Amino acid sequence: MKKKNIFLAKKPEDSSLNQYWFSEQTIEFLVDHIESIYENGQKIAFLSTPSIYCSLKNQEVKQNSSLFEFDLKLNKEKGFVFYDFNKPLEGLELFKNSFDIILIDPPFITEEVWTKYAQTINYIRKENAKILCCSIKENAKMLQDLIKVVPQQYKPSIPHLIYQYDFYCNYNHEMLQKVNEEIGF
């Protein structure tokens, strides 16, 4: 029998924070993907993606990762960094040009919110950082303009959201070119 995801079992979604978790299968997919693109010593930023950060299996990857998160219930996580997207650069001085891989899932999908996240991304990223994020299909052009990412075939399952998200990234990887069997497209 497959083991249930510990994060999902212990941390219910909090609608007051607009938290809607990926499905267990999507979490496993993202963990496998992040761990497959990680190279020795790279730094990874998880922006508003606690379900992925907390589900990492590879301890070296986790030791080289930071979770940028608003929810203080997660502040016991070793890599926790308090992050408020309304103050996109506050408290981030130590992280300027630090990250090789950045995973982002903002709590809101508006241009105003994505613009603030883009400020953070562009501040903490290394020059050739790999960026992976998710949002609605209608945000494709805006995300291309803000952070130079393009839509991918693989789409996440987020069971308690009423609309479908797409993944976007600035690099090519065969895992992202597959159909998510869980949702069938």
As a whole number, mean pLDDT of residues 35-56 equals 97
Residue 162 above 90 pLDDT? Answer: no
pLDDT score of 163? 87
**pTM, full prediction:** 0.95
Question: Containing H/E element for 99?
Answer: strand 99-104
pLDDT score of 93? 97
Helices (H), 38-182: 50-53, 59-63, 111-124, 140-147
Would you give the distance in Å from CA 149 to the centre of its chain? 13
How far is it, in rounded angstroms, from Cα 103 to Cα 105? 7
Q: What distance, in Å, lies between the first and last C-alpha atoms of the chain?
A: 27
Average pLDDT taken over every residue of the chain: 95
Q: What is the share, in percent, of the chain residues with pLDDT greater than 90? A: 90
**pLDDT tens column, 105-154:** 999 999 999 999 999 999 999 999 999 999 999 999 999 999 999 999 99
Residue 21's pLDDT band (boundaries 50, 70, 90)? very high
Residue 8, phi then psi, degrees to nearest 5: -60, -35
